[in-house]
Amino acid sequence: MSNVEYQEGGFLRVRIGDALGNKYNILKYLGRGTYATVWMIKDKAREKYSAVKITRSHQLSRAAAIDEKKVWQHIQKHGQHPNIVKWLDSFNIKHNNTRHFTLRFEMMGPSLADAMKLQERQFHLEVIKRIIKQILEAVKHLHHLGVIHMDIKPCNIMIAITDENIQNLANSEDRTHNRYDLNVTNPNSNIIVKIADMGLSCIADRVRIQARPTCSYSSPEASDA
């Protein structure tokens, strides 16, 4: 996908190769949700790669992203957990008379959901155990900080990739992001996963009543709320 059409209150029109402000270049399209698109970007000066989530210009979309930023700030104030994606910073983008809010993160590989679709063979049981343990460690850490994620599901669990793999992605002419070297059949494979997307999350004493988790992954009490 080379660009996303802009419409009033909608997504920012972005094309591969575009400059994002004065600091970054757009390299690849990574994904799209209801309220935002995600792109691989390169820092022009530092030659570093990261992922940026660009919200729609609609006021509710920007407000939700600002709330998400507050959760990330709360989490990282207490240090970086190895199984939670690292939030780097946020900034606004102006387009004509509208504004889009962004959240920038460390560059990751595919989501667990995408990896399960991409792999021709099943994950080894030992790899599955290791992944589940990492997810539980991350959730435990979030709960210790008083953060409720609200939307734990395979597409919000990201797989870490090496700097070499990130560089290969950046240099590839393939504009998609689905080529990764993942060894999921080896019981000794050291796959690292990280929880991402705090878009529906809340801090325990500041519950966001409007948050609605994905129905097929939500708890019964959340579904009945």
| Binding-site annotation: residue ranges for ATP | 53
Element (H, E) at 169: helix 163-171
Element (H, E) at 132: helix 125-144
Answer whether 88's CB lies under 8 Å from 134's CB. no
Q: Which residues are documented as binding site?
A: 53
Report the relative pairing of strands 49-55 and 98-106 from DSSP bridges.
Answer: antiparallel
Mapped onto helix, strand or coil, the DSSP state of residue 88 is strand
CA end-to-end span of the chain, whole Å? 37
